[in-house]
Amino acid sequence: MAKHAQSFVCQNCGAAYRRWQGKCDACGEWNTIAEENAAARAPGRPPRKGRLFALEPLAGEAHEAPRLSSGLPELDRVIGGGFVRGSVLLVGGDPGIGKSTLLIEAAAALARAGHRAVYISGEEAVAQVRLRAERLALSEASVELAAETSVEDILATLSDGATPRLVVIDSIQTMWTDAVDSAPGTVTQVRGAAQALIRFAKRSGAAVILVGHVTKEGQIAGPRVIEHMVDAVLSFEGEGSHQFRILRAVKNRFGPTDEIGVFEMTGTGLRQVANPSELFLSDRDLGVPGTAVFAGIEGTRPVLVEIQALVAPSALGTPRRAVVGWDQNRLSMVLAVLEAHCGVRLATHDVYLNVAGGLRIQEPACDLAAAAALVSSLANAPLPADAVYFGEVSLSGAVRPVPHSTARLKEAAKLGFARAIVPEAGREPAADVALALTAVGALTSLVSDIAARGVPPRRAQARMARQDG
Ligand SMILES: [Zn+2]
C-alpha cells in the first residue's frame, strides 16, 4: 500500500502539515495552508537503478567561473561581474517595479553582443513584450520571444538548436510542470518548475533568470524554498513615488552581496546611475533642522533612511509624543535619556518623529539618529547633509556599538555620504571604507556638538527682526 501522499503546505513558507489548519505555526500567517499532492507522478514506474560516476580528488585544476557581461554595468556589479555559465538567478521585486524592463534590456544587450538570448513570458502576450521593447527602442535586438507557461514545452524548445546563453523566465509563479500534480501557482508547482529549469541550466550551461513577485513582507512570494535552490537572489526595489530603483543581491554564490546597482526609471527605460548619491540626495530637504540619515539594516540588507523630527513648544498640559515608523517605547527612552543625562528639557515640548518613505524600523541602532534629529530640531541646528548616524543608546547615556557597522558604512559610502557618526566602543577597523568616522562615546557629547552648531529659535527670530528693521 502506498502511503497517503496528500499533505498540507503553507503557501507562504513551505512548511508541511498532516492536516489543514488556519494558521501556519512556522511563519504565523493565516489562511496560507493549502492541500497539495507531494507524490511524484507515475506511481507504477519501477525505481531507477543508480548510475556509477567517477569521484575526483580535492586537488586538481580549479577554474574561475567564466563570466558573460550582461551589458548593463550596474547589473554586472550586483551579480559579481557578469552571468556565470549554468547559473540560476532569481530576481524579485514588487509588481510594476520594472523587473521585466530590466531583464528585457539585459537580454537585448546580450543579443546585440551576438549571443542567443531567449525571453519567455508567462505573464504577458508576445505583442505586449514587443510593445515594451519598442518603447525601450530595443526592437532591432535579436531576442527570441515566446509566451509560454509549460516547463516541459519550454525545455524542449530550448534544447532544440544552439544553447541560449541567457534565458529569462517571467515569472516563475506562472510556470507549471507535468512532473507535479498540484495546482499551478502552489509552492509545490513553483518548486517543481524551478527544479526543472535549474537542471536545464546546469546541464546546458545557459544562464537562467527567474522572475519572482514579492509579497508585502518583502519575501519572494510563496516559495521562499526556491531562494535556497538558486545561485543568486536579486531584489529590485523602489518606491512608486520615486524614479530611482535599487538592485541588490540578497544571496550570491558567485560574488559579494553588499553591492547595489542603481537605476533611474525614465520614459525610455532604465537609466543606469553611476553616482547614486545625486539621485538619493535630490529628494532630501538639505539644511533643514530635525533630519538625520540613519544607516540601518533591514534583514540582511543595509538601508539608508531619513529620520525626521519636530520638537515644538506645547500648548497642552501633557505634551504630545507621536511616532511613525519607529517604536514608541524606544522614543520615550531616548527622550528620557536626553532629559536625564544631557540636560535637554523636553517636558514642555511636543515631539513628532517620522521615518521617511513609510519604512518601519525595528532595530535599536536607530537611537543615535533619532536623538540627533530630535536635538537638531530643538536647537534649530541643521545636521551635516553628508553624515549618517547609527548606534544604540543605553539608559546611562552611553552610545553602544551595533552589529554590521561595516555593511552600514559601505552602504553609506556607496550612496555618496562622506562621514558617519558611530559608537566609540567596538568600532570595527573598517579599513576599506572611505568615510570619515566620528566616534561618540556618550550621548552628551553628540548633544553639545549639535547645540554648538545651532541658533536658538528665539534669537534667530530676533536677528531676522533686526535685519527687517
Ligand atoms: Zn508558513
| Residue 399 Cα to ligand 1 middle (Å) | 38
| Residue 376 Cα to ligand 1 middle (Å) | 43
Quick check: 374 pLDDT over 90?
Answer: yes
Percent of the chain with pLDDT over 70: 84
The upper half-sphere exposure of residue 288, i.e. CA atoms within 13 Å in the direction of its Cβ, equals 12
| Residue 94 Cα to ligand 1 middle (Å) | 20
For residue 235, the model assigns a pLDDT of 86
| Residue 218 Cα to ligand 1 middle (Å) | 15
| Residue 11 Cα to ligand 1 middle (Å) | 7
Distances in Å between the alpha carbon of 237 and those of 99, 128, 286?
9, 23, 24
Give me the residue label for grid cell 509549460: 150
pLDDT digits (tens, 9 = 90+) for 107-142: 999 999 999 999 999 989 999 999 989 988 888 888
| Residue 299 Cα to ligand 1 middle (Å) | 18
| Residue 186 Cα to ligand 1 middle (Å) | 13
| Residue 254 Cα to ligand 1 middle (Å) | 29
| Residue 239 Cα to ligand 1 middle (Å) | 27
For residue 173, the model assigns a pLDDT of 87
| Residue 169 Cα to ligand 1 middle (Å) | 26
From 414, 131, 99, select the one nearest 275 (Cα to Cα): 414
| Residue 28 Cα to ligand 1 middle (Å) | 6
For residue 160, what is its C-alpha cell? Answer: 532544440
Work out the angle at residue 412's Cα, subtended by the Cα atoms of residues 406 and 414, and round it to the nearest 5 degrees. Answer: 100
Instruction: Compute the average pLDDT of residues 361-386.
Output: 92
For residue 468, the model assigns a pLDDT of 47
* Lowest-confidence segment of 6-10, 21-25, 119-123, 382-386 by average pLDDT: 6-10
d(CA 379, CA 457): 7
| Residue 252 Cα to ligand 1 middle (Å) | 25
What's at 290, amino acid-wise?
Answer: G
* Lowest-confidence segment of 164-178, 263-277, 384-398, 434-448 by average pLDDT: 263-277
| Residue 214 Cα to ligand 1 middle (Å) | 15
Evaluate whether 245 touches 260 at the Cβ level (below 8 Å).
no
For residue 145, what is its C-alpha cell? Answer: 520571444
| Residue 412 Cα to ligand 1 middle (Å) | 34
| Residue 330 Cα to ligand 1 middle (Å) | 30
| Residue 307 Cα to ligand 1 middle (Å) | 33
| Residue 27 Cα to ligand 1 middle (Å) | 4
Higher local confidence (pLDDT), 35 or 423: 423
| Residue 225 Cα to ligand 1 middle (Å) | 11
The residues whose Cβ lies within 5 A of ligand 1, an ion, are 10, 12-13, 15, 24, 26-27
Evaluate whether 143 touches 133 at the Cβ level (below 8 Å).
yes
Q: What is the phi/psi pair of residue 352, to 5°?
A: -120, 135
What's at 287, amino acid-wise?
Answer: G
| Residue 365 Cα to ligand 1 middle (Å) | 29
| Residue 360 Cα to ligand 1 middle (Å) | 22
For residue 460, the model assigns a pLDDT of 46
Q: What is the phi/psi pair of residue 48, to 5°?
A: -75, 145
pTM of the model: 0.66
| Residue 223 Cα to ligand 1 middle (Å) | 10
Instruction: Compute the average pLDDT of residues 422-449.
Output: 82
Q: What is the phi/psi pair of residue 33, to 5°?
A: -95, 125
Give me the residue label for grid cell 544571496: 251
